């Protein structure tokens, strides 16, 4: 009986010591790992078109402008998880596409959080994939909107995002090409009922699937690396649709992207001896 208790005690001590050693090793590895914050500042210039029924049966189109910031950081552990944060402010103004007259303006704020893991297909090609959360809100000002031209839009969606990253060189210039697609699966959205804001009539929050609510975002960029910073050139496409009776809202934009990117918070002299884990770049 004593031998059995002694064996149990020794096994417990061994397991405790092993766990403490593993924890200390993991803590030491995290302490000696530096994960710089990838940051991109972007300016988007292009055009957009939108239609809202029954406020107006005409399609409005015009210039589109948005400014945004993107941040990514890798996990300090041995896992291949990467966090992504994107924040954008979008401004649009347009006239009726059929006549070039009238006026409508759209203002949106958009935040996206993604948690992605990645697989290395070959040394210069990686695939990132995982869930993301998207929050969008804004106002559409349609001067043909009846009693009150302002309508409020709100959208909360959960879906998947995927990103393909390829490293190559143009002569001696290192380049990272990136394509990312975000596709929400389940959504809840709010929009005004019949456009009569003064009467306080709203649809309220509704659940949306691809049958009643469809969003998509496509991003195609090339980051040209110059020393510690990079020049970003590319294209952004946004699609936003709500099919909620009696209001239907459709929005599509195409934008040219220019920006600056780089890995921040991690390249000081104090971190030269640490293991560096970058979220996106391998150069």
Model confidence pLDDT, tens digit, residues 57-99: 667 788 999 999 999 998 887 778 999 999 999 998 887 666 5
Spatial CA neighbour of 56 closest among 155, 141, 119, 117? 141
**The pLDDT value given to residue 268:** 55
**Is 196 a residue whose pLDDT tops 50?**
no
Please classify residue 90 by burial: count the beta carbons closer than 10 Å to its beta carbon, then call 0-12 exposed, 13-18 middle and 19+ buried: buried
Percentage of the chain exceeding pLDDT 70? 67
6 to 11, 14, 136: CA distances (angstroms):
8, 12, 62
Model confidence pLDDT, tens digit, residues 144-155: 554 556 777 788
Percentage of the chain exceeding pLDDT 90? 36
**Is 237 a residue whose pLDDT tops 90?**
yes
102: left (phi over 0), alpha (psi -120 to 50) or beta: left
How many CB atoms are located within 10 Å of the residue 126 CB? 18
**The pLDDT value given to residue 92:** 87
d(Cα 177, Cα 234) in Å, to the nearest integer? Answer: 9
What ranges in the chain are assigned the alpha helix state H? 2-31
Spatial CA neighbour of 61 closest among 105, 96, 98, 25? 96
**The pLDDT value given to residue 148:** 52
**The pLDDT value given to residue 279:** 85
**Range with the poorest average pLDDT among 4-8, 29-33, 34-38:** 4-8
**Range with the poorest average pLDDT among 24-33, 142-151, 255-264:** 24-33
pLDDT band at 13 (very low <50, low <70, confident <90, very high): very low
**The pLDDT value given to residue 206:** 47
Q: Which residue has the tokens 């292009």?
A: 46
């Amino acid at each position: 009986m004593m031998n059995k208790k002694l064996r149990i005690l020794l096994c417990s001590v061994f397991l405790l010591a092993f766990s403490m050693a593993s924890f200390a090793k993991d803590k030491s590895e995290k302490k000696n790992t530096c994960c710089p914050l990838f940051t991109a500042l972007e300016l988007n210039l292009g055009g957009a078109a939108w239609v809202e029924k029954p406020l107006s049966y005409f399609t409005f189109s015009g210039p589109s402008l948005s400014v945004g910031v993107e941040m990514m950081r890798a996990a300090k552990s041995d896992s291949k998880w990467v966090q992504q944060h994107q924040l954008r402010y979008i401004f649009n103004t347009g006239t009726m596409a059929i006549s070039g007259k009238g006026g409508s303006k759209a203002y949106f704020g958009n935040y996206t959080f993604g948690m992605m893991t990645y697989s290395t297909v070959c040394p210069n090609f990686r695939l990132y994939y995982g869930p993301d959360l998207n929050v969008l809100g804004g106002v559409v000002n349609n001067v043909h909107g009846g009693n009150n031209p302002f309508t409020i839009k709100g959208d909360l969606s959960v879906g998947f995002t995927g990103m393909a990253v390829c490293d190559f060189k143009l002569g001696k210039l290192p380049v990272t090409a990136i394509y990312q697609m975000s596709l929400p699966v389940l959504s809840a959205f709010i929009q005004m009922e019949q456009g009569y804001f003064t009467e306080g009539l709203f649809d309220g929050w509704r659940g949306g699937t691809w049958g009643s609510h469809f969003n998509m975002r496509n991003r195609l960029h090339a980051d040209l690396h110059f020393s510690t910073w990079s020049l970003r050139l590319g294209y952004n496409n946004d699609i936003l649709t709500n099919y909620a009776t009696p209001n239907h809202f459709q929005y599509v934009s195409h934008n040219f992207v220019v920006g600056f990117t780089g890995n921040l918070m991690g390249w000081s002299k104090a971190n030269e001896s640490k293991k560096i884990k970058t979220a996106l770049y391998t150069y």
